[in-house]
Amino acid sequence: MQEWSDKRQGAGRMWRGRGVRRVEDGRLLTGAGRFVDDIRPDACLYLEFLRSAHAAGDIVRLDVTKVRQSSGVVAVFTAADVAHLGSASVNALLPDIRIPPFPVLAGGRVDAVGQPIVAVIAQGQAQARDAIECVDIDVVARPLDGSAPPAIAHHWASGDIEAAFAAATTIARVRVEHARLAPTALEPRAALAIWDPVGDGLTVWLSTQTPHRARLDLARILGLPAVRIRVIASDVGGAFGGKASIYPEEAMVAWAAMRLGRPVKWCATRSDDLMAATQGRGAVTVGELALDAEGRMLGLRAHLAFPLGHWLPYSAAAPGRNAGRIVPGPYRVPATDVALQATQANTAAVNIYRGAGRPEAAMLMERLVDEAARILSVDPLEIRRRNLLAPDVFPFRAPSGAVLDSGDYPALLQSACARSDYPALRRQHRERRVRGEIVGLGLALYVEPCGEGWESAMVSLADDGRIIAATGSSAQGQGRETAYAQIVADALGIAFDRIVVKAGDTGVTPPGIGALASRSTAIGGSAMLRAAQAFAASARKTAAELVQCPEHGVIAVADGFVALQGDGQRITWQAIAGSVVEEGHGGLSESVVFHADGEAWSSGCCVAAVRIDRDTGTPTVERLTWVDDAGIVINPMLVDGQLVGGMAQGIGEAFLERLVYDGDGQLLTGSLMDYAIPRAVDIPAVDIHKMVTPSPANALGAKGVGEAGCIGVPAAIVNAVVDALSPFGVTHMDMPLTSQKIWQALQANSPPHCVGEGKKLDGASGP
């Protein structure tokens, strides 16, 4: 069901607020997409890596003589060849980050399974892979050292935490272990580089969500001026944070193309990505929530331990920092004490993954709230109602110092419970438990900070009269071309199909941050709106000069402008383009760099109802009701797609996904035979509703939506499963909630009893 209000969305607009079909789909669904592996330049060479089989070890012998003699091999490179290369940048979101080296190829020692050691370049991909087998290498394993000091540490505190806990009548305690996850994009990582020392410089095609950042990083690593590098991300088959940073493999491809003077391509396999691409989650969070006798929150203590791998990608600090600054989320807690530590280990790098700290913060708080409700024998709905921030407190400075821009959390809770008929579900579950069914109901509220800083946009008039909208943001499946075209079409009052959106190519787009942190519509879209408005003003002025009347005397129409005075002369966009060029002005174009006034914070509430099969432990989500507030929405169809897509990944995290290393640092889940991702049949039906509290932090009033499904849905499901198992004495479970884990919990705990069955909603009547 949709709840889009014409008044709120801007009645009278042609395009914003409409569910326009994605313009990208025609190309992608007919096989006309252009991904990195589709690009096949003449004389292209293929690169493959010998990867470490050890999590930690010393390379005592490395002989590549036989590799050089292998059929089709053009070059073989080891660490000595690339030792002079620089390092990629790391975003110092928190002070005193300890940044390790960025080895393009391992030299002397290896620090993780899958780390590249030797790069083999051959005429064909199969030849390069065959030649890898000829590397003569001997590595002496080292024991894993878990005593390294944290590379990232920070502390947030507010209020008098000691007094809060001293005054408490109830203290809820929870320890949450998050499994490590693999982003598992449809398209694995890929890179193609071409070097022209005289003309174009270095052109690199990457499957990346941050082309402009990749350009700057390549300039740092290779020692080239950034103006001599062009990065192109044409079509990207998914990213989810896994393509947010430059990788050693991509730097190796670029350097090899420069060294050999021929195009060089590398495409990762699925196993390559599971071993060596960045991973997500993996945190262990511990929390204590102090409450008074009425169930009102007094204080929160939390310790957040986040994992890092053997090297730090650009956003390595973001997950821990996000979690630390978000808790206690939508709740008012007078005193807080939150400590973060992030520690390196002999694994693949850990970076942002859809949600990036937001799911960890939501899971800890929502589990603490449910545990407090259990101890106090208060319904989980009621304890949330008593502690939510009121809508009149916004903008609200959180205990961490973060400023929440707008929201109405009590209305979210009320709407979600009304839409799901929460009281009736509670009654039905009591009745079903009497009949022997194992059923549970879970709530979760969440907040979602949606990026800070700036983005850029440029709107230009092409010779044929079409409008070119270029963005510094990029796209990997979100429908960016469609949403930005809607913004520009509305601002100019012209037909949607006259807009051409360009993104992902540093050669034809203005600088930008990229597509991550749910920021592209709120910040990138605001930049596009401002650029389109500036362009409209310039176009009106130009049209008025051409028809020789005052600016207020021309009105915009679908194909240009019409003079209101005189003979009502009409001038088309194409004619304007021709006239501007004739006068030597070089075309009509406006660029804008938009700096957000603050950060937009989305929010939402999920209600999950689950059933568990007594014989197998298999969980089934019977109902999922979800109310999300993403501020002003450009395209409700795209928003629904983002919500459902995020939910699918949240379902995977809740029930299936887990990367596993053994005690020696060996990855045990190195293929999709071992690492389970959800199938279509695993995704439950969902009842999505919307609320709109516009954000004052940007020009559109928009908030992010891309990560919400990974934040609220897993927490609601975990609470529902724990509720279902509560008659068996179960008070906590960690994801993934596999049928085996649930079945074992059923067998290990006491027979069914009626814990909590007498709980009532505040003021409710009946059993």
Cβ count near 567 (within 10 Å): 7
Domain limits, the chain: 6-33+453-595, 357-451+598-748
Place of tokens 């002005």: 585
Structure tokens at 218: 């390549």
**What are the per-10-residue average pLDDT scores of the chain (767 residues)?**
32 73 88 93 97 97 96 97 96 93 95 98 97 97 89 97 98 98 96 94 96 96 96 92 96 98 97 97 98 97 97 96 97 98 97 96 98 97 97 96 96 97 96 96 96 90 92 83 92 88 93 81 92 92 84 78 74 83 69 92 97 96 97 93 95 97 96 95 95 94 93 98 96 96 89 45 34
What pLDDT, in 10s, does the model give residues 152-174?
Answer: 999 999 999 999 999 999 999 99
Q: Identify whether the C-beta of residue 123 lies closer than 8 Å to the C-beta of residue 129.
A: no
Please give the pLDDT value at position 585.
54
Q: Are 480 and 520 in contact (CB under 8 A)?
A: yes
Rounded-to-10 torsion of CA 76, 80, 86, 87: 80
Q: Which helix (DSSP H) or strand (DSSP E) does residue 276 occupy?
A: helix 270-276
CA distance linking residue 640 with residue 479, whole number of Å = 12
Residue type, 521: T
C-alpha neighbours within 13 Å on the C-beta side of residue 193: 27
Q: Supply the DSSP string of 377-391, one letter for each residue.
A: T--HHHHHHHHBPPG
Q: Read off the pTM.
A: 0.93
CA–CA separation, 68 and 81 (whole Å): 15
| Pick from 267, 221, 217: nearest CA to 37 | 267
Q: What is the pLDDT of residue 123?
A: 97
- Name the CATH topology of 6-33+453-595: Aldehyde Oxidoreductase; domain 4 (3.30.365)
The Cα 447–Cα 450 span in angstroms is 10
Rounded Cα–Cα distance for residues 417 and 381 (Å)? 8
Structural element, H or E, at residue 371: helix 358-376
Q: Which tokens belong to 689?
A: 């509703």
Helix or strand or coil: residue 164? helix
- Start-to-end Cα distance in the chain: 32
Element (H, E) at 221: helix 211-222
Percent of the chain with pLDDT over 90: 80
Between CA 681 and CA 355 the distance in angstroms is: 24
- The helix (H) or strand (E) run that includes residue 643 is helix 636-655
Topology match between the domains 6-33+453-595 and 357-451+598-748:
yes
CATH of domain 357-451+598-748: 3.30.365.10
